C-alpha cells in the first residue's frame, strides 16, 4: 500500500491547532482500492483541526473520473466534487459512526486515504452524463448527441400531435 503511505497523519505529534494537507489523487490511489473507476484525478484539500480531546477534519475534493458517458457512450472526464467533515475522538474500542470516528486510545496515526476514497465514490452520480455542450472541453460524442436530439424533437412532435387529436375528440364529444 505504498500509494497510500502519504495519507498517514501522525496525530500525536501534531501540535494543537490547524494544519492543512494537500494531495493530488491519481490512478495509483484509485487502483490501490480496486475501485470500479480507477482512472481519474483529484485535488484533495484537508483542513485538520487538532483540539485537546478531538480532531476535526474537513475534506474538500475536486476532480474527475474517466467513465463511459451514459448518454453518448464516449469515455468522458466526469467532474466530481465533494466536501465532508469528520470528527475523530478517542475511545476504548475503535468504531465508526456516521460522522464520528472513534480511534482506540494510544493510536498515534490515522490514514485518511480510506475516507478520501469513500467520499469520492459517494459523489459519483448514478447517471453518468456530462453537460459538456456548455464547457470548453467537449468530450461527449457530438454526432450521437445530435442524433439523440433529433429523436427527442420527433417524440415531442408526436406527443403534441397526439394531445391535439385528443383535444379534438374532447371538443367533438362536448358538442
Q: Which is nearer to Zn ion, 72 or 112 (CB)?
A: 72
Q: Which is nearer to Zn ion, 57 or 69 (CB)?
A: 69
Shortest distance, position 43 Cβ to Zn ion, whole Å? 24
Q: Which is nearer to Zn ion, 73 or 91 (CB)?
A: 73
Q: Which is nearer to Zn ion, 65 or 110 (CB)?
A: 65
Q: Which has the closest alpha carbon to 121: 109, 113, 110, 133?
A: 113
Shortest distance, position 152 Cβ to Zn ion, whole Å? 15
Task: Give exposure, 20-38, as e/b (b: 16+ Cβ within 10 Å).
Answer: eeebebeeebbeebebebe
Shortest distance, position 143 Cβ to Zn ion, whole Å? 11
For residues 126 and 118, give the distance between their C-alpha atoms in angstroms, rounded to a whole number: 15
Provide the binding-site residues for Zn ion, judged by CB under 5 A: 69, 71-72, 140
Shortest distance, position 45 Cβ to Zn ion, whole Å? 29
For residues 146 and 165, give the distance between their C-alpha atoms in angstroms, rounded to a whole number: 29
Longest Cα–Cα distance in the chain: 87
Q: Which is nearer to Zn ion, 1 or 147 (CB)?
A: 147
Shortest distance, position 90 Cβ to Zn ion, whole Å? 47
DSSP line for 84-121: EEEEEEEESS-EE-SSEEEEETT---EE-HHHHHHHHH
Amino acid at each position: 500500500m505504498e500509494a497510500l503511505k502519504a495519507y498517514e497523519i501522525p496525530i500525536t505529534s501534531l501540535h494543537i491547532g490547524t494544519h492543512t494537507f494537500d494531495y493530488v489523487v491519481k490512478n495509483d490511489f484509485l487502483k490501490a482500492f480496486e475501485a470500479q473507476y480507477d482512472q481519474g484525478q483529484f485535488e484533495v484539500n484537508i483542513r485538520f483541526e487538532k483540539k485537546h480531546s478531538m480532531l476535526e477534519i474537513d475534506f474538500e475534493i475536486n476532480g474527475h473520473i474517466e467513465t463511459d458517458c451514459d448518454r453518448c457512450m464516449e469515455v468522458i472526464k466526469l467532474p466530481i466534487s465533494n466536501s465532508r467533515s469528520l470528527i475523530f475522538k478517542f475511545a476504548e474500542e475503535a468504531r465508526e459512526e456516521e460522522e464520528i470516528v472513534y480511534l482506540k486510545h494510544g493510536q498515534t496515526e490515522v490514514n485518511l486515504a480510506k475516507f478520501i476514497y469513500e467520499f469520492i465514490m459517494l459523489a459519483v452520480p448514478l447517471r453518468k452524463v456530462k453537460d459538456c455542450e456548455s464547457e470548453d472541453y467537449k468530450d461527449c460524442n457530438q454526432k450521437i448527441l445530435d442524433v439523440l436530439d433529433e429523436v427527442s424533437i420527433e417524440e415531442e412532435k408526436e406527443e403534441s400531435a397526439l394531445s391535439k387529436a385528443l383535444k379534438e375528440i374532447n371538443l367533438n364529444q362536448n358538442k
